[in-house]
Protein backbone atom coordinates (compact mmCIF):
# COMPACT_ATOMS: atom_id res chain seq x y z
CA UNK A 1 0.00 0.00 0.00
CA UNK A 2 1.28 3.49 -0.82
CA UNK A 3 1.87 5.73 2.17
CA UNK A 4 1.18 9.36 2.92
CA UNK A 5 -0.41 10.12 -0.44
CA UNK A 6 -2.28 13.00 1.20
CA UNK A 7 0.42 14.23 3.55
CA UNK A 8 -0.04 17.94 4.25
CA UNK A 9 -3.40 18.09 2.49
CA UNK A 10 -6.50 19.59 4.09
CA UNK A 11 -10.12 19.23 3.16
CA UNK A 12 -13.77 18.60 3.86
CA UNK A 13 -15.60 15.28 3.74
CA UNK A 14 -19.40 15.34 3.56
CA UNK A 15 -21.84 12.46 3.82
CA UNK A 16 -20.51 10.02 6.43
CA UNK A 17 -23.71 8.66 7.96
CA UNK A 18 -22.62 5.27 9.26
CA UNK A 19 -19.79 2.80 8.78
CA UNK A 20 -21.20 1.64 5.42
CA UNK A 21 -21.11 5.14 3.89
CA UNK A 22 -18.63 5.71 1.07
CA UNK A 23 -17.66 8.94 2.86
CA UNK A 24 -16.98 7.05 6.10
CA UNK A 25 -14.53 4.71 4.37
CA UNK A 26 -13.00 7.70 2.59
CA UNK A 27 -12.41 9.51 5.88
CA UNK A 28 -10.58 6.49 7.30
CA UNK A 29 -8.44 6.12 4.16
CA UNK A 30 -7.70 9.85 3.95
CA UNK A 31 -6.62 9.84 7.58
CA UNK A 32 -4.45 6.77 6.96
CA UNK A 33 -2.82 8.62 4.05
CA UNK A 34 -1.94 11.65 6.16
CA UNK A 35 -4.75 14.13 5.37
CA UNK A 36 -6.30 16.57 7.83
CA UNK A 37 -9.99 17.22 7.33
CA UNK A 38 -13.28 18.27 8.84
CA UNK A 39 -16.34 16.03 8.70
CA UNK A 40 -19.79 17.41 7.98
CA UNK A 41 -23.31 16.17 7.53
CA UNK A 42 -26.88 17.48 7.63
CA UNK A 43 -27.92 18.41 11.18
CA UNK A 44 -30.64 15.72 11.02
CA UNK A 45 -28.07 12.98 10.27
CA UNK A 46 -26.07 14.07 13.27
CA UNK A 47 -28.74 12.91 15.68
CA UNK A 48 -27.74 9.34 15.04
CA UNK A 49 -24.40 10.18 16.62
CA UNK A 50 -22.29 7.68 14.69
CA UNK A 51 -20.32 10.44 12.96
CA UNK A 52 -18.88 11.53 16.31
CA UNK A 53 -17.23 8.11 16.69
CA UNK A 54 -15.69 8.56 13.25
CA UNK A 55 -14.48 12.04 14.20
CA UNK A 56 -12.76 10.57 17.24
CA UNK A 57 -11.11 7.91 15.14
CA UNK A 58 -9.95 10.52 12.64
CA UNK A 59 -8.86 12.98 15.31
CA UNK A 60 -11.06 15.74 13.97
CA UNK A 61 -14.30 17.63 14.48
CA UNK A 62 -17.78 17.55 12.96
CA UNK A 63 -19.44 20.73 11.75
CA UNK A 64 -23.13 20.31 10.90
CA UNK A 65 -24.28 21.82 7.60
CA UNK A 66 -27.26 21.29 5.35
CA UNK A 67 -25.54 21.24 1.96
CA UNK A 68 -28.55 22.92 0.33
CA UNK A 69 -28.07 26.01 2.53
CA UNK A 70 -25.52 28.56 1.31
CA UNK A 71 -25.51 30.09 4.78
CA UNK A 72 -24.65 26.72 6.38
CA UNK A 73 -21.89 26.15 3.82
CA UNK A 74 -20.38 29.59 4.50
CA UNK A 75 -20.32 28.85 8.22
CA UNK A 76 -18.91 25.36 7.61
CA UNK A 77 -16.06 26.71 5.48
CA UNK A 78 -15.21 29.57 7.86
CA UNK A 79 -15.05 27.24 10.85
CA UNK A 80 -13.21 24.50 8.95
CA UNK A 81 -10.62 26.98 7.68
CA UNK A 82 -10.00 28.14 11.21
CA UNK A 83 -9.75 24.59 12.56
CA UNK A 84 -7.50 23.36 9.76
CA UNK A 85 -5.40 26.51 9.78
CA UNK A 86 -5.67 27.22 6.07
CA UNK A 87 -7.42 26.75 2.76
CA UNK A 88 -8.59 23.42 1.33
CA UNK A 89 -6.88 20.95 -1.02
CA UNK A 90 -9.88 18.68 -1.40
CA UNK A 91 -13.67 18.58 -1.08
CA UNK A 92 -15.78 15.43 -1.18
CA UNK A 93 -19.47 15.68 -2.09
CA UNK A 94 -20.98 12.35 -1.04
CA UNK A 95 -24.60 13.38 -0.70
CA UNK A 96 -27.76 11.95 -2.20
CA UNK A 97 -31.42 11.75 -1.26
CA UNK A 98 -34.72 11.51 -3.12
CA UNK A 99 -38.03 11.90 -1.26
CA UNK A 100 -39.76 10.36 -4.30
CA UNK A 101 -37.65 7.20 -3.98
CA UNK A 102 -38.10 7.14 -0.22
CA UNK A 103 -41.85 7.31 -0.63
CA UNK A 104 -42.04 4.89 -3.54
CA UNK A 105 -43.27 7.34 -6.21
CA UNK A 106 -42.88 6.07 -9.80
CA UNK A 107 -41.20 8.18 -12.52
CA UNK A 108 -44.58 8.91 -14.09
CA UNK A 109 -46.06 10.05 -10.79
CA UNK A 110 -43.39 12.32 -9.34
CA UNK A 111 -44.25 14.81 -6.66
CA UNK A 112 -42.53 17.89 -8.12
CA UNK A 113 -41.81 19.56 -4.79
CA UNK A 114 -40.00 16.39 -3.79
CA UNK A 115 -38.25 16.21 -7.17
CA UNK A 116 -36.91 19.75 -6.62
CA UNK A 117 -35.66 18.58 -3.23
CA UNK A 118 -33.93 15.59 -4.87
CA UNK A 119 -32.17 17.86 -7.36
CA UNK A 120 -31.23 20.40 -4.71
CA UNK A 121 -29.85 17.87 -2.20
CA UNK A 122 -28.23 15.50 -4.69
CA UNK A 123 -26.91 17.87 -7.39
CA UNK A 124 -27.32 21.62 -6.87
CA UNK A 125 -25.65 21.31 -3.46
CA UNK A 126 -22.49 20.32 -5.41
CA UNK A 127 -22.72 23.64 -7.27
CA UNK A 128 -23.35 25.47 -3.99
CA UNK A 129 -20.32 23.85 -2.36
CA UNK A 130 -18.12 25.01 -5.23
CA UNK A 131 -19.66 28.45 -5.68
CA UNK A 132 -19.21 29.27 -1.99
CA UNK A 133 -15.63 27.91 -2.06
CA UNK A 134 -14.86 29.98 -5.16
CA UNK A 135 -16.40 33.20 -3.82
CA UNK A 136 -14.49 32.85 -0.55
CA UNK A 137 -11.35 31.84 -2.48
CA UNK A 138 -10.92 28.79 -0.26
CA UNK A 139 -9.31 26.28 -2.64
CA UNK A 140 -5.56 25.88 -2.87
CA UNK A 141 -4.00 25.62 -6.33
CA UNK A 142 -3.96 22.05 -7.69
CA UNK A 143 -6.77 21.10 -5.34
CA UNK A 144 -9.29 18.37 -6.16
CA UNK A 145 -13.08 18.19 -5.84
CA UNK A 146 -15.01 14.93 -6.20
CA UNK A 147 -18.71 14.08 -6.36
CA UNK A 148 -20.33 10.63 -6.50
CA UNK A 149 -22.55 9.55 -9.36
CA UNK A 150 -24.27 6.49 -10.79
CA UNK A 151 -24.61 5.18 -14.35
CA UNK A 152 -28.38 5.81 -14.27
CA UNK A 153 -27.39 9.33 -15.35
CA UNK A 154 -26.60 7.93 -18.82
CA UNK A 155 -28.71 4.81 -19.17
CA UNK A 156 -32.18 3.99 -17.96
CA UNK A 157 -32.52 2.14 -14.68
CA UNK A 158 -36.29 2.50 -14.16
CA UNK A 159 -36.22 2.24 -10.36
CA UNK A 160 -33.75 5.15 -10.07
CA UNK A 161 -36.49 7.68 -11.04
CA UNK A 162 -35.64 11.33 -10.29
CA UNK A 163 -32.19 10.43 -8.93
CA UNK A 164 -31.18 9.60 -12.52
CA UNK A 165 -31.93 13.20 -13.50
CA UNK A 166 -30.18 14.49 -10.38
CA UNK A 167 -27.04 12.51 -11.28
CA UNK A 168 -27.10 13.84 -14.88
CA UNK A 169 -27.19 17.35 -13.41
CA UNK A 170 -24.42 16.53 -10.94
CA UNK A 171 -22.14 15.31 -13.75
CA UNK A 172 -22.89 18.42 -15.81
CA UNK A 173 -22.08 20.67 -12.84
CA UNK A 174 -18.71 18.89 -12.49
CA UNK A 175 -17.88 19.88 -16.08
CA UNK A 176 -19.19 23.44 -15.73
CA UNK A 177 -17.35 24.17 -12.52
CA UNK A 178 -14.34 22.11 -13.54
CA UNK A 179 -13.77 24.55 -16.39
CA UNK A 180 -14.03 27.62 -14.13
CA UNK A 181 -11.89 26.22 -11.34
CA UNK A 182 -9.31 24.85 -13.78
CA UNK A 183 -8.86 28.27 -15.32
CA UNK A 184 -8.80 30.23 -12.09
CA UNK A 185 -7.00 27.93 -9.62
CA UNK A 186 -5.84 24.77 -11.41
CA UNK A 187 -8.39 22.94 -9.30
CA UNK A 188 -9.86 19.77 -10.82
CA UNK A 189 -13.47 18.61 -10.52
CA UNK A 190 -14.62 15.08 -11.30
CA UNK A 191 -17.44 12.68 -10.55
CA UNK A 192 -16.96 9.00 -9.83
CA UNK A 193 -19.64 6.70 -11.22
CA UNK A 194 -19.66 3.99 -8.58
CA UNK A 195 -21.03 0.41 -8.66
CA UNK A 196 -24.16 -0.31 -6.62
CA UNK A 197 -22.97 -0.33 -3.01
CA UNK A 198 -24.70 -1.52 0.15
CA UNK A 199 -25.27 1.75 2.04
CA UNK A 200 -28.30 3.57 3.43
CA UNK A 201 -28.74 5.63 0.23
CA UNK A 202 -28.02 2.65 -2.05
CA UNK A 203 -30.18 0.01 -0.48
CA UNK A 204 -33.08 2.49 -0.15
CA UNK A 205 -33.63 2.16 -3.89
CA UNK A 206 -36.39 -0.24 -4.99
CA UNK A 207 -35.09 -3.58 -6.27
CA UNK A 208 -31.57 -2.88 -4.95
CA UNK A 209 -30.76 -6.58 -4.41
CA UNK A 210 -31.60 -7.45 -8.00
CA UNK A 211 -29.56 -4.70 -9.62
CA UNK A 212 -26.69 -5.18 -7.19
CA UNK A 213 -26.48 -8.88 -8.11
CA UNK A 214 -27.03 -8.18 -11.81
CA UNK A 215 -24.20 -5.61 -11.90
CA UNK A 216 -21.97 -8.02 -10.01
CA UNK A 217 -22.58 -10.78 -12.59
CA UNK A 218 -22.03 -8.44 -15.55
CA UNK A 219 -18.81 -6.80 -14.30
CA UNK A 220 -15.65 -8.81 -15.04
CA UNK A 221 -14.12 -7.59 -11.77
CA UNK A 222 -17.40 -7.75 -9.85
CA UNK A 223 -18.95 -4.73 -8.11
CA UNK A 224 -16.53 -2.19 -6.70
CA UNK A 225 -16.80 -1.98 -2.91
CA UNK A 226 -17.11 1.18 -0.83
CA UNK A 227 -13.51 0.63 0.37
CA UNK A 228 -12.24 0.46 -3.19
CA UNK A 229 -14.19 3.63 -3.97
CA UNK A 230 -12.56 5.33 -0.98
CA UNK A 231 -9.14 4.38 -2.36
CA UNK A 232 -10.04 5.79 -5.76
CA UNK A 233 -11.21 9.03 -4.14
CA UNK A 234 -7.91 9.27 -2.24
CA UNK A 235 -6.02 8.80 -5.51
CA UNK A 236 -8.05 11.65 -7.03
CA UNK A 237 -7.17 13.88 -4.07
CA UNK A 238 -3.49 12.96 -4.43
CA UNK A 239 -0.91 14.69 -6.65
CA UNK A 240 -0.82 11.66 -8.98
CA UNK A 241 -4.01 12.71 -10.82
CA UNK A 242 -3.41 16.40 -11.30
CA UNK A 243 -4.37 16.60 -14.98
CA UNK A 244 -7.64 14.67 -14.68
CA UNK A 245 -10.59 17.04 -14.68
CA UNK A 246 -14.20 17.50 -15.87
CA UNK A 247 -14.57 13.72 -16.15
CA UNK A 248 -17.18 11.24 -15.06
CA UNK A 249 -14.93 8.35 -14.05
CA UNK A 250 -16.37 4.85 -13.95
CA UNK A 251 -15.44 2.88 -10.87
CA UNK A 252 -17.55 -0.15 -11.55
CA UNK A 253 -15.43 -3.25 -12.15
CA UNK A 254 -15.93 -2.93 -15.92
CA UNK A 255 -19.74 -2.85 -15.88
CA UNK A 256 -20.11 0.22 -18.12
CA UNK A 257 -18.08 -1.39 -20.95
CA UNK A 258 -19.57 -4.87 -20.81
CA UNK A 259 -22.49 -5.88 -23.06
CA UNK A 260 -23.14 -9.29 -21.59
CA UNK A 261 -21.23 -11.74 -19.43
CA UNK A 262 -21.07 -15.54 -19.58
CA UNK A 263 -22.91 -15.73 -16.25
CA UNK A 264 -25.86 -13.76 -17.64
CA UNK A 265 -25.84 -15.79 -20.90
CA UNK A 266 -26.08 -19.00 -18.89
CA UNK A 267 -29.04 -17.65 -16.96
CA UNK A 268 -30.95 -16.90 -20.17
CA UNK A 269 -29.96 -20.00 -22.13
CA UNK A 270 -32.78 -22.36 -23.22
CA UNK A 271 -30.51 -25.39 -22.89
Over the window 29 to 48, marking each residue x when it contacts ligand NAI by CB under 6 A and - when it does not, the resulting string is ------------xx--x---
Work out how close the CB of 9 gets to ligand NAI at its nearest, in angstroms, rounded to a whole number: 21
What is the pattern of x (binds ligand NAI, CB under 6 A) and - over residues 175-214?
-------------------x-xx-xxxx------------
Question: Using the rule CB under 6 A, is 15 a contact of ligand NAI?
Answer: yes
Quote the CA–CA distance of 231 and 8 in Å, as a whole number.
Answer: 18
Site for ligand NAI in 81-120 (CB under 6 A): 94-97
Closest CA to 255 of 213, 220, 211, 205: 220
Provide the 10 A C-beta neighbour count for residue 142: 12
Catalytic residue among 77, 119, 150, 212: 150
- Of 2, 38, 11, 77, nearest to 232 by C-alpha is 2
Please, which of residues 52-71 interact with ligand NAI by CB under 6 A? 66-68
Q: Is 178 annotated as ligand-binding?
A: no
141, 90 contact by CB (below 8 A): no
| Count helices and strands in the chain by DSSP H and E runs | 12, 6
Is 150 assigned a catalytic role?
yes
Total residues contacting ligand NAI (rule CB under 6 A)?
Answer: 27
Q: What is residue 187's DSSP assignment? A: -
User: What is the rounded end-to-end Cα distance, in angstroms, of the chain?
Assistant: 46
- Residues of the shown chain interacting with ligand NAI in the complex, contacts defined by CB under 6 A: 14-15, 17, 21-23, 41-42, 45, 66-68, 94-97, 121, 148-150, 194, 196-197, 199-202
Amino acid sequence: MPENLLKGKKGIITGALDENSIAWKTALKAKEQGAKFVLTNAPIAMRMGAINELAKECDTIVIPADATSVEDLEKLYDEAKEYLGGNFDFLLHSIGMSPNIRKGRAYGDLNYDWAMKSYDVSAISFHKMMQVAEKKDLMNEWGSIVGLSYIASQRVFPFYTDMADAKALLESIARGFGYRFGKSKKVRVNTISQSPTVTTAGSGIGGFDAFYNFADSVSPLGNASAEACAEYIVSLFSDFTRMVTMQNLYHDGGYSSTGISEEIMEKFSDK
